[in-house]
Structure 1
Amino acid sequence: MKICLISNLYPPCILGGAEVVVEKVAENLAIKGHEVVVITTSYDEETVETVNSVKVYRVNPLNVYKVCDHPKKHSFMKPIWHTIDLWNIQAYKILKSILERENPDIVHIHNFKGFSLSAFQVVKKLNLPLVFTAHDYSLICMRANLLNSSGNICDTPSALCSVYNKIQKNLVDNKPDVVIAPSKFVINKLKSEGLFENIETVKVPLGIGIEDKKEDKDYVTIDILYVGALSEHKGVHILINAFKNLKYENITLHIVGKGNDEYKFKQIAKGDKRIVFHGFKTGSDLINFYKNANINVVPSIWYDNSPMVIYESLMCGTPVIGSRIGGIPELIENGYNGFLFEAGNAGELEKILESVIENPSKLKELENGALKSVQKYSMENHINKLIEIYESLILAN
């Protein structure tokens, strides 16, 4: 098959987990012998290159700033950017030109912001089978995270957001042939807003490389880990507050990541020498944090989809304590590969941490559960499921 993946970002330009997922999918599809083309945005010049057997087009649809600059732009600029990005005629022309030249058997759209919703229309205009993966809530929230300006879950969108979402729905609904999401929660959330009611939806968990064996861990010091963005909606302050209330000396909280709220979190942690900020890490450096940790905490207070940090942690035999919110409970089985707690409840998190610190034997049981539970999330299973979906659509087309 010749497969085209459309993703607003692609390594080395990384703002979140979705672009890393797309890279792994692209390269693993290529390993299986498929011809893979990626269309993404460029930070600099427009280029066409081949990276690890994947042909990558990096283009620059016209807007007031580039996608990679979005997080650092002033709030008054963002509505302008989003308005242009509803339906970008130049993006339409760029995508149409590349798709006509490459003539793929199937197109798979991932995060589309930066290409606008014209990406969906151009694929259907060319009568190509279309798969869409919902990595977040972009179709029902301008911020993509269903949080309001105060950082709380938005239950009642403003009039402006409601109009914006209605336009999006009209532009995208019924365009994909199949909609995929890593969690059932996201699929249900989109459907609850009236999207994709008559379209096949499939939960396809993320894929990850599986380790052959678990590292031996040390229980003299209990190492607690957080990996992710240092942003308030990730609940890092909940974790820090819970940790600071623990009176044990043989514990360390390792915080790995970067983000807009880093200074705020460091102020909350100030005075507790057991809390260490390590900055942003990738590759083997990041994996070593997972391997050495006794427990990983995912304290999100937003509707997290299916965090890659959970997959990565379980892969390394490290159990996870996660918020009972969004798609997180679909990955954590209470008492088997980790524990769940009420999102935002620092007191409940503190009690769970206290329990595992005092019972290293329980940690060992959880580690075995972590390794067993991650087996079904292998990259091989993920790629095979995608190929099955692609082939069925091509056959039906």
Structure 2
Amino acid sequence: MKIMQVTHSFPPYTFAGTEVYAYALAVELSKRHRVSVVFRVNQPHEKEYALSVNNRGDFATYSINRTFNTCDSFGQTYDDHIVSAIGGRLLDEVNPDVVHIQHLLFLSIGIIKEAWKRRIPVVFTLNDYWLMCHKGQLIKNDFKVCQGYTIDGCRVCLEAQLSITKYSIFFYNLLRRHLPVQLTQFVKSLYILFARKTFLSQRKSSTLILKRYASMQAITSRIDYFVAPSQFIKKKFIAFGFPQEKIFFFSYGIKHRSVSPGDKTYSPNLRIGYIGTLIPTKGVSILISAFRKIIKKNIRLSIYGKLAPYAGYEAYYRQIIKSARDERIAFMGQFDNSKIFDILRSIDILVVPSLWLENSPLVIHEAFISKTPVIASRIGGIPELICDGMNGLLFNPGDADDLSEKIKQVMENPEILACMRRNMPAIKSIEENAMEMLEVYKKASMNCGTV
């Protein structure tokens, strides 16, 4: 079978959960099938929309350079006719039996249209809420969970994106590179105010939001099947109007390795770890605040991850660095996911302090394989993975006091860790997951009459 995966990014450019999973699935599927991967890169010094072809050994990759410097509207951020046309040419060249979309952020929903025109079946993994929420995480600007789509709510949340005009993103990126953060934010706020007073009326904002909603509704009707990695996200999309019979629930598969509790490196300190992207919705600031409430010296916090741009919060990284002025806290920077188990060996507890409705964080699956207990927010699909008090602990999202108490609980009762390590659940292998996906691909192909 010829399988084309499409995703918003891919290793080695980024190592967030969706990208890591897409890579693992591509490697596994390529053992018996012809696999290609299409993804977006952001190379400011390369030509916009330049297409690069590479051979990763077992599968081919096609990267589309999209910096958004020439983006001239909100609509072009999710439906770009040039990206769609490139996707169409790649579909003709590769001629896949199925297209599996992991994410279309930074790309274009038109890729689905191009597949539909060629009668190529499409499978879409619901890695987040992008099909119903432009930001993908169903969270408001004040980091409160969004309860669902409303025009007024989206208008407030997306004001900066709705204000996009030709070259506005180019100049914004220029300001970010050359001006202090506060000045960049000030100029940006002036521009949004100017937009509100001139060309971006409430009526126009509403029209743009409704157009995206209608576009997503239309495009999802052309997707053969969806895959939900958590029951939580499956229920969310059903409540949003997606047909239940078209959504399969499959938890993520992970590349396994043999690990025992004895593989942990030794330290006299309790070692707390955060592994993930450094954006506000991941709650790193909550973890730092909770950690600093603990005055004991025999505890360490290691923060692994890369700063990622997050609209409206340009000063976030500097803020968390400032808040983490504590000799017990170390920022470890970006890491290669191939080293994930080495990192997990070096910590005693992983903390996942997310503020958004997480789907099924890949890092929790990886932690369980490495026999590393997890303290995590009681939010989204996370409670499906963590049985409170058995293989980890749950705390109230955004509550630094509650998180601090959970960490203290472990410090005062260290035997809890050994007990939790014995209660780690079985984690699906990527081999098992690939077999599940192949069954969905075949089912989609039969529906399209391509097999």
1:391 aligned to 2:442? Answer: yes
Q: 2:236 pairs with 189, 204, 228, which one?
A: 189
Q: 2:257 pairs with 202, 211, 220, which one?
A: 211
* Aligned CA distance change for structure 1 residues 106 and 158 (closer, same or farther; 3 Å): closer
- The residue that corresponds to 1:7 in the other structure is 7
Conserved? CA contact 2:129–2:137, under 8 Å = yes
**Structure 1 residues 1-397: aligned runs within 5 Å:** 1-14=1-14, 16-31=16-31, 33-42=32-41, 43=43, 44=46, 45-60=50-65, 64-65=68-69, 80=72, 82-155=74-147, 156=150, 157-159=153-155, 160=205, 162-194=209-241, 196-197=242-243, 199-214=245-260, 215-218=263-266, 220-259=268-307, 261-270=316-325, 272-283=326-337, 285-370=339-424, 373=425, 375-396=426-447, 397=449
SS at match of 1:239: helix
Conserved? CA contact 2:3–2:98, under 8 Å = yes
- The residue that corresponds to 2:194 in the other structure is none
* Aligned CA distance change for structure 1 residues 2 and 158 (closer, same or farther; 3 Å): closer
Conserved? CA contact 1:174–1:198, under 8 Å = no
Aligned amino acid, residue 132 of structure 1:
F
Q: What's the CA shift for 1:356?
A: 1.0
Give the root-mean-square deviation of aligned CA atoms: 2.2
* Aligned CA distance change for structure 1 residues 60 and 280 (closer, same or farther; 3 Å): closer
* Aligned CA distance change for structure 1 residues 100 and 199 (closer, same or farther; 3 Å): farther
Distance in 2, Cα, partners of 1:114 & 1:274: 38
SS at match of 1:172: helix
Conserved? CA contact 1:82–1:142, under 8 Å = no
SS at match of 1:47: strand
Aligned amino acid, residue 69 of structure 2:
Y
Q: What's the CA shift for 1:218?
A: 3.3
Could you list the per-position Cα deviations for residues 264-308 of structure 1 after superposition, in whole angstroms to 9, with x for gaps in the alignment? 1122222x3222221222245443221121111001111112112
* Aligned CA distance change for structure 1 residues 38 and 300 (closer, same or farther; 3 Å): same
Unaligned runs of 5+ in 2: 156-204, 308-313
Aligned amino acid, residue 213 of structure 2:
K
SS at match of 1:377: coil
Conserved? CA contact 2:365–2:427, under 8 Å = no
Unaligned runs of 5+ in 1: 67-76
Task: State, as a whole percentage, how many aligned pairs show the same letter.
Answer: 30
Conserved? CA contact 1:224–1:251, under 8 Å = yes
Q: What's the CA shift for 1:328?
A: 1.2
Q: Bigger CA drift: 321-330 or 185-194? A: 185-194
Larger RCO, structure (CA 8 Å, separation 6 or more): 2
SS at match of 1:209: coil
Give the alignment's TM-score, normalised by structure 1: 0.88
Q: What's the CA shift for 1:124?
A: 1.2
SS at match of 1:376: coil
Aligned amino acid, residue 243 of structure 1:
F
Q: What's the CA shift for 1:15?
A: 6.5
SS at match of 1:179: strand
Q: Bigger CA drift: 334-343 or 141-150? A: 141-150
Distance in 2, Cα, partners of 1:219 & 1:149: 40
Could you list the per-position Cα deviations for residues 149-196 of structure 1 after superposition, in whole angstroms to 9, with x for gaps in the alignment? 3333234523447425422333323211110121122222223222x2
SS at match of 2:427: helix
- The residue that corresponds to 1:71 in the other structure is none
Conserved? CA contact 1:243–1:350, under 8 Å = yes
* Aligned CA distance change for structure 1 residues 209 and 64 (closer, same or farther; 3 Å): closer
